[in-house]
Structure 1
Amino acid sequence: MNHIVISCIGPDKTGIVDTLSKIINEHQGNWQVSSLHHLSDFFAGVIEVAVDETNTQSLITALSHIEGLKCQIELATKHTDKASTNLALELTANDRAGIVQEIASVINHQGGNLIKLVSSRSSAAHTGQLMFNAKVQIAVNETDVDKLIGALEHIADDLMVDITR
């Protein structure tokens, strides 16, 4: 069984997910994990599909020819990771340019691997101040968890880090 990772972007219109799922199903693919979004009138999505080796190339070809949708498709290779723990965090801070870079840099320099980042902006309840909110999943060695949390908390006085694992 092969696993392919599909990254798609194109102007959003009704039926994109239906089209993708039909093509995957027609090639006996199994939709595994996905993240699909509407961003500034564009559809943007990432999908992992398990597909039999005999159907892999025909599925890749069909996905590559969806009108109005640019798809980049990669065949995943197996790899072994060193022992690590998954750490789920919720981060909240005053919104500002560069905050994602600061967070990503700290995670990288503390030996973590940023597995997932879902961010949003919202208004603070009493002040209306724009707030940055993120849920992150990080793979990190168990022995480095406290050091990583401490480094994240030192990015700025207003950054709150909640562990949700």
Structure 2
Amino acid sequence: MNHIVISCIGADQTGIVDTLSNVIKEHQGNWQVSSLHHLSGFFAGVIEVAVSVDNTQALVTALNNIASLNCQIEIAHSVSEKVNANLTLELTANDRAGIVQEISSIIHLQGGNLIKLVSSQTSAAHTGQLIFNAKAHVAIKAKDVDTLVDALENIDDDLMVDIARA
């Protein structure tokens, strides 16, 4: 069994997920994990599919032939060990250019592995100021958690960090 990771983007239109899921089903693929989004008029998605070795190349070819999508596909011939996040951080700050780089750099420098990052931008209720919100899943040694949180909180006075241990 191979696992393929599909990254795709295209102009958003009705039926994109149906098209993808039909192609995967036609080649006996099993849709495992995905993250699908509408971003500025585009459909963007990342999908992991399990598929037999015999059907892998035909599935890759069919995915690449979907005219409305630009897909990049990587084949994992063996599934790597799943990395579990042991820490979930909820981050809030005034939005500014470079904030994701600052956060990811601190996590890296403190020995953490950023497993998943989901971010959004909202407007503050009374001022309309853009607010950055993110949920980060991080794998890190328990002894390094407090140092990581301190380092994140020292990025700027307005960055708030809430912790939920997974």
Answer yes or no: same fold by TM over 0.5: yes
Per-residue CA deviation, residues 47-71 of structure 1 (Å, 9 max, x unaligned), is 0111111111111111111012110
* CA distance in 2 between partners of 1:4 and 1:143 (Å): 35
Contact 1:84 1:142 in 2 (8 A): no
Contact 2:113 2:138 in 1 (8 A): yes
Partner of residue 49, structure 2: 49
Gaps of 5+ in 1: none
Aligned residues: 164
Contact 2:117 2:137 in 1 (8 A): yes
Alignment of 1:81-96 (within 5 A): 85-96=85-96
The root-mean-square deviation of aligned C-alpha atoms, in Å, is 1.6
* CA distance in 1 between partners of 2:86 and 2:73 (Å): 26
Partner of residue 101, structure 2: 101
Q: What SS class does the counterpart of residue 164 from structure 1 fall into?
A: strand
Q: Which runs of 4+ in 1 moved over 2 A?
A: 76-81, 83-86, 125-128
Partner of residue 131, structure 2: 131
Gaps of 5+ in 2: none
* CA distance in 2 between partners of 1:17 and 1:52 (Å): 22
Per-residue CA deviation, residues 61-92 of structure 1 (Å, 9 max, x unaligned), is 111110121100001243357x9752111100
* CA distance in 2 between partners of 1:28 and 1:148 (Å): 44
Structure 1 residues 84 and 122, CA gap change in structure 2 (3 angstroms):
closer
Please give the TM-score of this superposition, normalised by the length of structure 2: 0.92
* CA distance in 2 between partners of 1:84 and 1:9 (Å): 27
Partner of residue 164, structure 2: 164
Alignment of 1:70-81 (within 5 A): 70-76=70-76, 77-80=78-81
Partner of residue 39, structure 1: 39
